[in-house]
């Protein structure tokens, strides 16, 4: 009886599946673009978490950026597969010698999804919107804007500083001029930030985008951010079905660049890592992100395409100089010599990882090829410890065993290898595992309880300040020494240098001094995070900044 019912259900489902498939094949849109290699079909990608919302400016995490990147464009974009800048909505840009006045020559004939023309007025509308944003709730969500512009017309809370934004003028339809109060090294790279995507002024107004309502201890976002995001990108918003955990994006037939090859992109949110893998194997999704290093070989063996992103991150071992022993440079150098980083990369690193000698990838301006390198040398480490009178040292080593970050896929294993290396030169290590969001970040970055910890960073744009400046640009509890003023000043100066040659030289010197003189932490590796797609997916270009656009993707049969 049971079996018969099961069979019936199988039959019904099979017929249903066929019917759906047939319907899918029978549907093909007609749009005016001829000669486009449009393949149709649907590309299903597994997301790992809910997006916060779809208003670019209020977001700062990868899960929210993935759909946003398909719907919006930025003034400056990246050459596919690299961190190099190229024209986006602006075909070209230039700045005055002080780096304060930026002139953008805009692309002509571009329209937002709602038909609003894209022009200089629209660009300035966006800049003005960000600068004039009101309300503590809204401002607190604008992480990247704060990073780049420093503050608002009216700061609602402490923590925001003086804004470097002065004004934006539409000279003519195709020319937008942005004036800053002060030069900042982050530009032009920061103009490519997904958060600073350009949205349709009409839609922003119509859907009340600036209203972020505070409700008790949470925020309520506007209809623009939740149901009506409108940009210029290759896909338009189709909806987020929260009962099914599916975000649907439809092909934009009027896109100014390479029009999408598929009719539809569905981002299916699956929070469990092993379930994402199983869905991929079952063929129910065609792409997943950040596979565990241990799974990569297996997936490749099964015929999936494991595409490595060029590494744009760094993992480091933080040294907390609150501990007087670690204040001695010789002890810090001893730790650097004690670590067999080559072996760490080979045994625990994801495919394609390499040892880091600096705190930024070599593709970033200001990478110095001639910094002091700490080759594995346990004898030297012991000698240095002896010279410093720090034999028999005991250190607390904090690590978060419960997470997997792109630069740190397996914290527990990394900790074990590093701890063994340190024990081998006579340093006693007390491992302190703490949940990522339940102690680790608080203890390390707010209270500075640790002597050692592992942490890292994925860069946002091609600028040394985004790496080295973020880590060591000012006093931080994480590294425990508030008196390394020489380092802070050098970084501030390098960041304020406008001309490219001077900037490059200044940052190179900073990197040399960090390695030889300051050593606030030990860089460990650059790990390329991978993206995995099924055999029949073509045209997936992996980006070091995880800035993948799905308009180039097609799903073959």
Partner 1 sequence: MLRVIVRRLLQLVVTLMALSALIFIWLRNLPGGPVEALLGERATPERRALLTKALGYDQPILVQYGKFMQRVLTGDFGNSIRTGDPVTEVISRAFPATIELALVAMIIAVGLGVPLGYLAARWRGRWPDNLTIAGTLLGISIPIFFLGYLLKDVFTQNIHWFPPSGRLTTGLDNTHVTGFFVLDGLLTREFDASADALWHLILPAITLATIPLAVIVRITRASVLDVLNEDYVRTAEAKGLRHRTIRGRHILRNALLPVVTTIGLQTGALLSGAVLTEKVYNWGGIGTLITDSITGGRDYPVLQAIILLAALVFVVVNLLVDLSYAFIDPRVRVR
Q: Which of residues 95-134 bind partner 1 (CB under 8 A)?
A: none
411-424 and 329-338 helices, crossing angle to 10°: 110
What DSSP letter does each residue of 229-296 carry, written as one string? ---SSSEEEEEEETTTTEEEEEE-TT-SSS--SSSEEEEEE---HHHHHHHHHHTS-SEEES--HHHH
CB nearer to partner 1: give 125 or 525: 525
Q: Which of residues 274-333 bind partner 1 (CB under 8 A)?
A: 274-275, 278-279, 281-282, 284-285
Q: Which of residues 388-417 bind partner 1 (CB under 8 A)?
A: 405
**Residues in binding contact with partner 1, number by CB under 8 A:** 77
28-36, 250-258, 456-464, 525-533 -> range binding partner 1 (CB under 8 A): 456-464
Q: Which of residues 130-189 bind partner 1 (CB under 8 A)?
A: 136-137, 139-140, 143, 146-147, 157-160
Q: Residue 432, SS3? A: strand
Distance (Å, whole) CA 527 – CA 353:
4
Assigned token pair, 197: 């995507």
Q: How far is the CB of 309 from partner 1 (least distance, A)?
A: 17
DSSP state, residue 550: G
411-424 and 341-348 helices, crossing angle to 10°: 150
101-109, 263-271, 348-356, 379-387 -> range binding partner 1 (CB under 8 A): 263-271
Q: Supply φ then ψ for residue 138, to 5 degrees.
A: -65, -45
**Contact flag: residue 270 with partner 1 (CB under 8 A):** yes
Q: How far is the CB of 177 from partner 1 (least distance, A)?
A: 30
Q: How far is the CB of 40 from partner 1 (least distance, A)?
A: 13
Q: Which of residues 196-225 bind partner 1 (CB under 8 A)?
A: 214-221
Greatest pairwise CA separation for the chain in angstroms: 83
CB nearer to partner 1: give 93 or 144: 144
Candidates 404, 445, 509, 552; binder of partner 1 (CB under 8 A) is 445
371 CB burial (10 A radius; 0-12, 13-18, 19+): middle
Q: Which of residues 477-516 bind partner 1 (CB under 8 A)?
A: 477
CB nearer to partner 1: give 184 or 503: 184
Q: How far is the CB of 330 from partner 1 (least distance, A)?
A: 30
String of contacts with partner 1 for each residue 241-260, x by CB under 8 A: xxxxxx-x------------
Q: Which residues of 2-31 are buried (b: 16+ CB within 10 A; e: fewer)?
A: eeeeeeeeeeeeeeeeeeeeeeeeeeeeee
Q: Which of residues 56-85 bind partner 1 (CB under 8 A)?
A: 60-61
CB nearer to partner 1: give 59 or 462: 59
Residue with tokens 């939740």: 226
Q: How far is the CB of 455 from partner 1 (least distance, A)?
A: 8
Q: How far is the CB of 242 from partner 1 (least distance, A)?
A: 6
Q: How far is the CB of 147 from partner 1 (least distance, A)?
A: 8
Q: How far is the CB of 521 from partner 1 (least distance, A)?
A: 15
Q: Using H for helix, E for strand and C for coil, what is the string for 183-228?
A: CCCCCCHHHHCHHHCECCHHHHHHCCCCCCEEECCEEECCHHHHCC
CB nearer to partner 1: give 12 or 516: 12
Q: Residue 17, SS3? A: helix
Q: Residue 141, SS3? A: coil
Q: How far is the CB of 119 from partner 1 (least distance, A)?
A: 31
| Other Cβ atoms within 10 Å of 435 Cβ, number | 12
């Amino acid at each position: 009886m049971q079996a018969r019912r099961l069979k019936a259900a199988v039959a019904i489902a099979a017929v249903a599946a066929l019917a759906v498939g047939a319907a899918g094949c029978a549907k093909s849109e007609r749009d005016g673009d001829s000669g486009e290699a449009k393949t149709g079909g649907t590309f299903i990608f597994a997301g790992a978490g809910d997006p916060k919302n779809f208003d670019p400016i209020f977001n700062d995490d990868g899960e929210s950026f993935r759909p946003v990147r398909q719907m919006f464009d930025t003034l400056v974009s990246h050459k596919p597969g690299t961190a190099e800048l190229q024209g986006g909505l602006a075909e070209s840009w230039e700045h005055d010698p002080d780096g304060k006045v930026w002139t953008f020559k805009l692309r002509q004939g571009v329209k937002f999804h709602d038909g609003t023309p894209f022009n200089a007025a629209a660009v300035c509308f966006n800049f003005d919107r960000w600068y004039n944003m009101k309300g503590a709730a809204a401002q607190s969500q604008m992480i990247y804007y704060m990073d780049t512009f420093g503050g608002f017309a009216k700061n609602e809370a402490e923590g925001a500083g003086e804004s470097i934004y002065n004004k934006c003028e539409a000279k003519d339809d195709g020319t937008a001029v942005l004036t800053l109060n002060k030069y900042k090294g982050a530009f032009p790279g920061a103009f490519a930030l997904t958060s600073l995507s350009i949205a349709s002024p009409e839609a922003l107004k119509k859907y009340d985008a600036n209203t972020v309502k505070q409700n008790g201890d949470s925020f309520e976002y506007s209809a623009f951010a939740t149901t009506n995001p409108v940009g210029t990108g290759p896909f338009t918003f189709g909806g987020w079905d929260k009962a099914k955990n599916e975000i649907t994006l439809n092909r934009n037939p009027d896109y100014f660049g390479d029009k999408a090859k598929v009719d539809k992109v569905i981002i299916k949110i699956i929070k469990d890592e092993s379930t994402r893998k199983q869905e991929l194997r079952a063929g129910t999704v065609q792409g997943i992100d950040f596979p565990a290093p241990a799974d990569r070989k297996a997936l490749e063996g099964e015929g999936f395409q494991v595409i490595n992103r060029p590494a744009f991150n760094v993992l480091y071992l933080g040294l907390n100089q609150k501990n007087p022993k670690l204040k001695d440079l010789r002890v810090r150098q001893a730790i650097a010599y004690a670590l067999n980083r080559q072996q760490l990369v080979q045994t625990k690193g994801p495919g394609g990882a390499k040892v880091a000698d600096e705190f930024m990838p070599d593709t970033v301006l200001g990478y110095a090829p001639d910094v002091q390198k700490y080759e594995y040398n346990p004898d030297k480490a012991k000698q240095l410890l002896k010279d410093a009178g720090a034999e028999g040292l005991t250190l607390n080593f904090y690590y978060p065993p419960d997470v997997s970050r792109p630069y740190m896929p397996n914290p527990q294993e990394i900790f074990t290898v590093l701890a063994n290396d340190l024990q081998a030169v006579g340093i006693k290590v007390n491992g302190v595992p703490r949940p990522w969001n339940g102690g680790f970040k608080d203890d390390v970055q707010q209270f500075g309880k640790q002597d050692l910890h592992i942490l890292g960073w994925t860069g946002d744009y091609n600028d040394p300040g985004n790496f080295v400046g973020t880590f060591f640009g000012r006093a931080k509890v994480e590294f425990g020494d508030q008196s390394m003023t020489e380092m802070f000043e050098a970084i501030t100066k390098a960041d304020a240098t406008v001309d490219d040659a001077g900037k490059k030289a200044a940052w190179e010197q900073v990197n040399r001094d960090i390695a030889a003189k300051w050593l606030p932490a030990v860089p460990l590796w650059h790990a390329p995070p991978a993206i995995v797609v099924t055999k029949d997916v073509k045209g997936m270009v992996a980006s070091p900044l995880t800035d993948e656009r799905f308009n180039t993707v097609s799903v073959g049969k």
